[in-house]
Amino acid sequence: MARALLAGRWTDLDERLPVLNKYSGQVIDAVPLFTERHVDLALGSAEGAARVMEKLPAYKRAEIVERAAHMVQANASAFEGILVAEAGIPVKHAKVEVGRAIVTLNFSAEEAKRLSGETIPFDAQARGSDRYGYFMRKPVGIIVAITAFNGPLLLVCRKIGPAIAAGNASILKPASTTPLSAIKFAEAILDAGLPPEGLQVLTGRGANLGRKLVSDPRVRVVSLTGGAEAGADIARHAGVKRLIMELGSICPTIVMDDAQQELALNCLPEAAFGLAGQNCIRPQRLLVHERIYPEFVEDFVQRTSKLVVGDPSSERTDVGPLISEREAVRVETWVREAEEVGAKILTGGQRDGPIYYPTILADCPADTEVVQQEIFGPVVVVEKFSSLDDAIAKSNSTAYGLQAGIFTQNIDVAYRAVNELHFGGVLINDTSDFNNDLMPFGGNKQSGIGREGVRWAVQEMSDPRSVIYRIPRPDRELA
């Protein structure tokens, strides 16, 4: 049975939380069920660890993270198997996630060696003419990282890699449904030479651990990937500390009448339904110009109906289960409620246990949940529009703003989209479903606070420290 990492020791408890295979429903392992008492132990240990971590030189931090990347690569098949079982991720997508995790760690190792400041021209102001200085960046101390189930390895690496690069101690709270990949990663980073208390992994339910973790004043940064409700709760209780929160979205993709339709159609099924739609930047709303709407949507429906749905351990599978049958039932309910008020199901609309088949809806009223709330399931709403103004207004009409995509061959249209879509990222001739760890990734409005991406996360997880030297001048009296 899996153990978790507390105060530098692999720890077991009598009370455990089962981890299920998301396709079969069978128990595959169990992890310790930590409580608030263990949070106090973790925070006390992290205080000492933060002092150790800040003394590690940059090259040592880089070596540790780089060695961890090599270990993940050497054990790639084991990590892939865990992702398939605990998260229901189809094996071909699990391979991609492991590969991206390795790249993220390597970027983090490089960024540890680039954490620098710059000189400050104090003499640009009269009162600074006898001063010289610069700023440098220093670790903040203790990071709390809270990760979601839909990228259980990649999200951990996105948070812990930069935290180590910046010289911090971290407490990781992985999703209670997918803790095994986080534990295996912790094994790798410790074997790579991380000081024993530099990372702690607390498994259990967020309701029991989260609030106490995020509200403690010793924690200087909370990095969350999760839902908007969880983000709002953390913001209410965190106190004075830095928050990095990626909270999901309702991402639109616009297809103009001059678009390269084949390019768009080749991208859309995978973007919309990969990971069973449990992806914060997937195109949930597809806005198609009225001139091409009928034939474009018909082709999209045909391609979607050919996706292979089922066992995620099969190399052929495109769409696996949702994280639980309860979530599949919720998605089914939202679709049924939309249908009751006039929406049409063009394909899909069936559930088989935790599987919900890729579904395309048309004619959805604007106030339905499938239009206004992140469905986090394999459902796409198609809408027609008459003008770019109309498409931009529809896209901006929700409370979210993570990413948006637009297909067009008109540079003026692309320019307007970049400037008028209120999103953290705007993709031209692509769907909303792309990011990498060289870019500042995050959203506007209810989609989050701050930015991830390795360089940007390292900046968020470090503080500038100004250093000012007063240089007495021979023509002045020493003060």
Helix axis angle for 58-74 and 154-165, nearest 10°, is 160
| 420 in catalytic set | no
Give the three-class secondary structure for 121. coil
Nearest to 254 by CA among 441, 414, 375, 443: 414
Q: Which of these is catalytic: 251, 267, 280, 364?
A: 280
Name the phi and psi angles at 123, rounded to 5: -75, 5
d(CA 131, CA 386): 61
Q: Please report, as a single letter, which amino acid is at residue 409.
A: Q
d(CA 124, CA 120): 9
Taking the CA atoms of residue 210, residue 211, residue 214 and residue 217 in that order, the dihedral angle to the nearest 10 degrees is -140
| 246 in catalytic set | yes
Quote the Cα angle for 280-284-287, to 5°: 140
Nearest to 172 by CA among 162, 186, 184: 186
Q: How many other CB atoms are found less than 10 A from the CB of residue 123?
A: 13
d(CA 394, CA 251): 11
Q: Which of these is catalytic: 111, 246, 327, 452?
A: 246
Name the phi and psi angles at 24, rounded to 5: -90, -20
Q: How many other CB atoms are found less than 10 A from the CB of residue 474?
A: 5
Give the three-class secondary structure for 58. helix
Map tokens 């079982």 to a residue: 85
Structure tokens at 367: 């106030």
d(CA 90, CA 206): 26
**Which residues are part of the catalytic machinery?**
246, 280
